[in-house]
A = this chain, B = another copy of it.
């Protein structure tokens, strides 16, 4: 616990992860309302939408209009996701998109094929071109993400050495262009992680890249997401992707059941951090209201727990009426 951070940063993934997995395309104004409400909670980074094939992900076909419609709050980054050059060009042409220079890598070849139609190595090589495009656009590399870093439904166990090699590769191609890689996110895309593995993988990546901030992108596919976050906190990890109400799931990650495959839930993690005395800069009660809004939009019970049970704030005030 000596390594535990004093403050943790969350990147909110709910709008993209959540609306992308649903079969329904929800009205633009409802999605805008959710993003605007999230921006008022103290979250500084919100992933709004994907710039991916409208054929494969029709839910994200109106990403340009979606970004345009959001009333932007100063100091909040509104991010978009892309998986190829074309997507980056769309994002770049869209006003208000935070072009956080992202390096996308796969620890699983089979998942790279499913999600990106290329091998993990081909995807890695393409990142050199992405960095070139970023330089042209005046965008600095901000983070690398290594997908399926904890295991893969298509490939099985993923050797941690491969994850470390991918992280070093990302650092190397940044250095080639004179850039420092600020952060690497390890993504448990298909919910394979456990607390010991989290500790081990974080430790190995940190040993290999001591100057790079480590972030985690976890899915609570098997109910132990918060235990994994806890293990990461104890390793000093202070940077997490998460989704309000536990929204989400990747449509190509073969979780089997979309409803069970969401990201770790932002407000549940914020609750845990606050209970542990870790700052987040987030107004938990406002975030719970966002989770309820997401539930109203989606129209079914979502996975978050604090959104249904409430935080402990109201119970801590003295209860005069009782006993």
Mark A residues whose CB is within 8 Å of B. Answer: 1, 109-110, 112-113, 119, 151-157, 191-192, 194-197, 220-227, 229-231, 255-257, 259-261, 265, 268, 271-272, 275-276, 301, 304-306, 308-312, 315-319, 322-323
Contact = CB atoms under 8 A, between A and B. Distances in A.
A315 B156 contact: yes
A109 to B, nearest CB: 5
Contact of A308 (B1, B196, B256, B315): B256
- Copy count, this protein chain: 2
Given A110-B322, A195-B230, A268 B224 contact: yes
A268 B223 contact: yes
B265 A309 contact: no
Contacts of A312: 151, 192, 222
A306 to B, nearest CB: 5
Contacts of A317: 156
**Most central of A113, A153, A305, A319 by chain B CB within 10 Å:** A305
A304 B109 CA distance: 30
B271 A154 contact: no
A255 to B, nearest CB: 6
A260 B222 contact: no
A90 to B, nearest CB: 28
Nearest to A234: B195
Given A110-B323, A323-B119, A305 B154 contact: no
Contact of A260 (B154, B156, B256, B305): B305
A194 B323 CA distance: 25
Given A256-B310, A305-B223, A319 B230 contact: no
Nearest to A246: B223
Contacts of A272: 194-195, 222-224, 227
Given A110-B319, A221-B309, 14 more contacts: A109-B323, A110-B322, A151-B312, A156-B317, A222-B272, A222-B312, A223-B226, A224-B268, A224-B275, A225-B226, A227-B272, A255-B309, A260-B308, A301-B301
A301 B260 CA distance: 10
**Which of the listed residues A113, A195, A259 has the most CB atoms from chain B within 10 Å of its own CB?**
A195
A223 B322 CA distance: 27
A308 B156 contact: no
5 contacts: A151-B312, A155-B323, A196-B276, A220-B305, A261-B309
A222 to B, nearest CB: 5
B323 A154 contact: yes
A112 B151 CA distance: 47
